[in-house]
Chains A and B, each alone.
Chain A
Amino acid sequence: MIKKEMIAMLLAGGQGSRLGVLTSKVAKPAVAFGGKYRIIDFPLSNCINSGVDTVGVLTQYQPLRLNTHIGIGIPWDLDRNIGGVTVLPPYEKMDSTEWYTGTANAIMQNIDYMDSYNPDYILILSGDHIYKMDYEVMLDFHKQNKADVTIAVMPVPWEEASRFGIMVTDEQRRIVDFQEKPATPESNLASMGIYIFNWKTLKEALLANADRPNLDFGMHIIPYCREKEYPLYAYEFNGYWKDVGTLYSYWQANMELVDIVPDFNLYEEYWKIYTNSKAMPPQYLSSDSEIEKSIISGGSEIYGKIYNSVIGSRVTIGRNTVVRDSIIMDDTVIGADCELEKVIIAENVKVGDQVRMGVGEETENETCPNIYNHGLCTIGEKSVIPDGVTIGKNVCISGLTSPEDYPDEKLLSGKTMIKAGD
C-alpha cells in the first residue's frame, strides 16, 4: 500500500484582492515575484527541499496561469511516479456541487486525495508568503511534543501584534489561548498560516464540522481542536517571512531583494528556489545603460538607466529611460525617454516613449484607497500606455489605453482607469 509520512496541501485558490489589478487575471500565488519567480515557487521549493514530495495544490480563482506554471511539477522535481504535484480544482459531485467555500472546506472536499496516500501528517500551506522554511524540522518538533496540531508562529513587534492572529503559549510552547487581531495582545507570536495536523485528528475535525458554512482553519478547525483539548503546539520560526498580501508589502518585499546582502538571499547554493522557466539568454546592457542596486532576469535588454529596481525576464527598457524603485515583470516593453518612479508594471505591458509615471502630488486613490496607496502606480497585465503621457501617484491602469484617455496628456494622481476587453 502507498504510504507517505507527510503530504502537503497548498491553498492557492484565493483571489488576493488587495493586490488590485495584479490579480485581475491571475490567482495571487501566480503573481511574479523577484524578477523570474512566482509567489507559489517559494512554498513549492520549500516542500521539495524539505523532502515533502507529495503536494496537492488547491486552485479555484483564475487557475490558468497557475496550472500552466505548475504543469506536472518538473521544475520542482515534483514529477514523481508516486506522489508529486496534483492540482485539485473544485469538482461536481453526485448529490451536491459547491465551490471551495473556505480554507478548511477546500481541504475537506479532498479527503479522498489525502486518504489515497495513507499519510500520518498533513502539512497545510498557503500560496502567498515569501520565506524559506524546513518543514521537516517543524515535523520533528511536532513529533517530539506528541502534538495533534502544530502551528508555525513568528514573533512580531508588540505594537503590530494586534494585526495578527496571536498564539498564547506556556513555557513548553503548548498553545493555551489564541486571539484573533486582539486589541490587547497577550503574546507577540503571530500565526503564519502553516499547520501540521495528525491526519486522524484533521479528518475527524473536518467531518465533525462539515456542515459549517465557509469552513475555515483559523475560525473553526483550530478552535474546535482546542475545545476538544487536543495538544496544540506553536513552532517558532525566526527566519525571513513576508506576507505579500498588499501592494505595498509586495513592493517592499521586492525592494528588499536589491540590498547588498538581502535578508532573503536568493544567491545561496543551499535551499534553492526553483521556478518554471526556460533556459534564458543572458541580459544585454548597452553602452548607454546605467544600473545600480537592481536585479535583472534573463533575456532582458537594457538601453536605459535603472536604479533600485527588480526587472523580470525578456524586458526591454528603451534609451534614456530612467526607472527608479520599481518592479517590472516579464515581457514588458518600455519605450525611450521615459521616467518611471515607484511603479509596478505587470507582464506584457507596452509603454510608449516619453511617458512619465509616478509624478506629482500624492492624492488618495478615488476608487480603492486601501489598495492603491503609498504613492505606487500600478499597471495591469497586457496594458498599453501611449506616447508622451504623464501619470500621477496612487494610480491604477489596466487595458489598452489611447491618447484620448489622457486629457492634456495627463492622468492625475489618485485616478483609476480600467478599460474592459482588448
Chain B
Amino acid sequence: MRAIGIILAGGNNHGLRALSQKRAVGAMPIAGSYRAIDFVLSSMTNSKVQKVGVFTQYNAGSLNKHLSSSKWWDFGRKQGGLFVFTPTITADNGFWYRGTADAIYQNLEFLKNSHEPYVIIASADCVYKLDFNKVLEYHIDKKADITVVCKDMPKNVNVERYGTLKMNEESRIEEFEEKPLIARSNTISCGIYIIRRHQLIDMVEKCVGEERYDLVRDILIRYKDMKHIYGYKIKDYWSNIATVEDYFRTNMDFLKAETREYFFKEYPEVYSKVADLPPAKFNKGAQVKNSLVASGCIINGSVEDSVIFREAYIGNNCIIKNSIILNDVYIGDNTRIENCIIESRGTMRANSYYIGEDGIKVVVEKNDRYVI
C-alpha cells in the first residue's frame, strides 16, 4: 500500500451528552463487542496500510487502553506500526491541538519521515468497511489533489450536522459547506480524505503559518476552487455515531441480519482487542428476543430488541426493552429499563425503573456494587 493512515480521534463531542464524559468518541463501544475506532483500523489493515498514526487529545484514557497493543489489528510489525500521538509541550510548542490541521502540523515529523507518497486521513467515529486501495486508485486516476469520500444520505435524514457537498459530472467538488444551516445537497462528506503526502505537508505548514487550524474549513473549503478536489461516493453501510440518536440507531442496525452479515460474516472481517471472556450464560428465567448478547454476560431476566455489551449482569425478573447496556453493567433484580443507554460499569439497584419517555435516555448510575 502506498499510503500511510492518520486517524483523527482527538475532538470532544457534545452530541453524545453524558456518554462522552467518560471517553473519546473513538472509544465508544459498538455492536456488543467492538469500539468505534476498530472499524477504521480494520479497514486500514485490511487495505494493507502498514503505518497508522492516531491523534488523540480529549479524554483519551479508554482509547489508549484499547490501543495498548497493536497486535489485534496486525500492526505490530517491524515495517510500519501503530503510533499514538498526544499533544506534548516541546521547545517550540506549548499548545494543545488547536484543530485537526494543527494536530497534523504538531506531528509533521511523522509525515516527513514516512516514504509512502499518499496519506489517508479518517476520523474514529464512523462505522463502515472500506477498501482504501479503491479510493487511492480513483484518486490517482482522477489526478486529484484531494479525494473526499462521500455518501448520498436518504432524503429524510437531517444532514445539517455534517459537511455537505455538491459535485459536477466529473465528480469534482464544486460546493462544500461545513454544518450548513440549510443544506443544499444531501451528499455528505464521510470525513475520509486521500491526499499526496508532500501536498499535505505544504498545505498544513502554510495553513498554520496563517494561524488557521482546521482541516475542513481552512484546507478543503478554502482550496476547493484552486485545487482539484474530487468526491468518491460509497454506497455500502456507513454511519456516524457522534450524537446519542445516531449512536443508538447504529447499534440497533446490528439487529438486522444484513448488517451482521456485512460486518461479521463477509470478508474481510473487523478486528478488535481480544477480551478473554467466557461464553455468555443464560440461566433459568432468561428470555431473550431479537437481541445481541456479548461474551461474559450472565442473563437471568427478559431482554428484547436490545444490545447487551460484554460482562453485563441482568438479574431475575428484569425487563430490558429497546435499550443498550454497555460493558460491565450490573442490573439488580426486578428492574425495568426501556429506551435507555446504560453507561458502562453502572450499577442499577434492584426494583428500579428507567424509561426514556421522549427519545433515548442516557443513564449514568454510580451506585455501590457489592460483589462477593
Contact = CB atoms under 8 A, between A and B. Distances in A.
Contact of A296 (B272, B276, B282, B289): B282
Interface of B: 31-34, 38, 71-72, 255, 260, 263-264, 269-276, 278-296, 298, 307-309
A281 B273 CA distance: 12
Nearest to A76: B276
> Max chain A CB contacts within 10 Å: which of B264, B279, B280?
B279
Contact of B292 (A282, A295, A306, A311): A282
B284 A260 contact: yes
Contacts of A298: 33, 279, 294-295
A278 B271 contact: yes
Nearest to B33: A282
Contacts of A115: none
Nearest to A74: B71
16 contacts: A35-B279, A36-B278, A267-B278, A275-B276, A279-B72, A279-B273, A281-B264, A282-B32, A282-B308, A284-B291, A285-B288, A287-B289, A289-B288, A292-B286, A295-B281, A299-B264
Contacts of A297: 279-280, 295
Interface in A242-293: 258, 260, 266-267, 272-275, 277-293
A299 B33 CA distance: 10
Interface in A309-365: 310-311
B301 to A, nearest CB: 12
A36 B307 contact: no
A34 interface: yes
B284 A290 contact: no
Contacts of B283: 260, 292-293
Contacts of B295: 36, 280, 282, 297-298
A278 B263 CA distance: 15
A201 B288 CA distance: 58
B62 to A, nearest CB: 16
Interface string A40-83: 00000000000000000000000000000000001100000000
Given A282-B33, A282-B308, A285-B288, A292 B282 contact: yes
A102 B271 CA distance: 42
A286 B293 CA distance: 11
A285 B289 contact: yes
Nearest to B71: A74
A291 B292 contact: no
Contacts of B285: 292
A209 interface: no
Contact of A281 (B32, B276, B281, B289): B32
B296 A290 contact: no
A301 B294 CA distance: 12
A285 B271 contact: no
Given A289-B289, A291-B288, A298-B294, A281 B33 contact: yes
A274 B274 CA distance: 10
B326 to A, nearest CB: 12
Q: Which secondary structure dominates chain A's binding surface? A: loop
A7 B286 CA distance: 44
A311 B288 CA distance: 16
A382 B38 CA distance: 32
Given A292-B284, A292-B286, A298-B279, A281 B31 contact: yes
Contacts of B269: 278
A213 B285 CA distance: 57
Nearest to B287: A290
Interface of A: 34-36, 74-75, 258, 260, 266-267, 272-275, 277-299, 301, 306, 310-311
Contacts of B281: 258, 267, 294-295
Contact of A293 (B31, B282, B309): B282
A36 B284 contact: no
B71 to A, nearest CB: 7
A291 B260 CA distance: 21
A266 B284 contact: no
B294 A291 contact: no
Nearest to A297: B279
Contacts of B294: 282-283, 298
A34 B283 CA distance: 15
Contacts of B271: 278-279
Contacts of B292: 281-285
> Max chain B CB contacts within 10 Å: which of A273, A281, A288?
A281
A228 B118 CA distance: 73
A286 B260 contact: no
Contacts of A266: 278-279
A283 B283 CA distance: 16
A295 B290 CA distance: 17
A291 B282 contact: yes
Contact of A282 (B276, B289, B290, B293): B293
B293 A283 contact: yes
Contacts of B275: 279
A266 B295 CA distance: 12
A279 B280 contact: no
B279 A279 contact: no
Contacts of A296: 279-280, 282, 293
B284 A285 contact: no
Given A282-B292, A282-B295, A286-B289, A36 B279 contact: yes
Contacts of A287: 289-290
